[in-house]
Amino acid sequence: MTTEEKDDSKEDSRLEEDTKFDENSASESEKINGASENKSIEEPTSAETAENAEKGEDVEEKTNWGKEILSWFLMVIAILAAIWFLTNFIIVNARIPSGSMENTIMTGDRLIGERFAYWFSKPKRGDIVLFHWPVEPDTIYIKRVIGLPGETVTIKDGKIYINNSKTPLKEDYLKEEWTVENDGYTFHVPKDSYMMLGDNRNNSADSRYWADEALDDGVAKTEEQAEKYTYVKKSAIIGKAWFRYVGGFKNLTNTAHY
C-alpha cells in the first residue's frame, strides 16, 4: 500500500469516526429532547391544578369541620360541668310538692335556694330553709326556722313563746288562724339543732310530729330516742330559700321580725 493510500485510509477512518460521533451526538440530542418532551408531558394542566386545589380545599374544609365539632363538644362539656358545680355547690333548684308552706309558697311552686348561705353564718329565726328530714334523710323538706340552738319554745293557744317570754312571736306569714295542735307543746332545742314549723300550721308535718313518726317508722325504739328526730342539725340544712320563680316571682330571703 502506498503512502497516499495509507493517508486516504486514515482520512476514511476519521470520516467514519466523525460520522459515529455525529450519530452519537444526534442520539444524545434525541434523548435530551425526548426527556424534555416527557418532562413537558408530566407537567399538570390547569384543569389538574384546579382539581388538586379543590382537593386541598376539601381537606382543609374537613379539618375545619373537625375542629369546629371538637370545639362545640368541649363547650357542651364545660357547660354541663358548670351546671353540675352550680347545682351541687352554689344553688338548689326545688319544686314544692305540698301545701305545708302556704300561703308563702304554694303547691307546685319552684324556687331557688342558696347552698352557701350558712357556710360562714348560722340560720336565723324566720329563715325558710331546705333540709334533710331527720326521720328519712333522703327526703328533703322546706320549713321555717322557729327555735334556735339552746332555746325553749312553748306553743300555747296558737301562739309561740321563746324562753318563757310573755310576748308571743308575731307571725304575719301564717295562712290562717292556727287551730290544729296549737297548744301544750314545749321544746328544748339542742345546742347544735333547730326547730322547724310550716307556715300552714293546720296542715304541716313539722317538728310537732317527727318524734311520733320516728317511733311509727321504727327508726326510734323509745320516746327518748325519738326526741332527737324533732330537730334539724345545721349539718342537715341544705340551704336557704332565695326566691320563687314559678308561681310568680317572690323574694323569700326576708326574715320575719320578732
Q: Which residues are catalytic?
A: 100, 143
Determine the Cα–Cα distance for residues 84 and 78; give it in Å rounded to an integer.
10
Provide the 8-state DSSP code for 218: T
Judging by DSSP bridges, how do beta strands 193-197 and 250-251 pair with one another?
unpaired
Residues in the chain: 258
Task: For residue 228, count other CB atoms closer than 10 A to its CB.
Answer: 15
Q: How far is CA 5 from CA 14, 17, 129, in A?
A: 14, 18, 134
The answer to whether 103 and 235 have CB atoms below 8 angstroms apart is no
Determine the Cα–Cα distance for residues 9 and 211; give it in Å rounded to an integer.
140
Which is nearest to 189 in space by CA: 143, 238, 144, 228? 228
Which residues contact residue 244 at a Cβ distance below 8 angstroms, ignoring those fewer than 6 apart?
A: 105, 109, 110, 111, 250, 252
* Main-chain dihedrals φ then ψ at residue 257, nearest 5 degrees: -100, 130
Output the CA torsion 227→231→237→242 (10° steps): 150
Pull the grid cell for residue 194.
333547730
**Residue 35 three-state SS:** helix
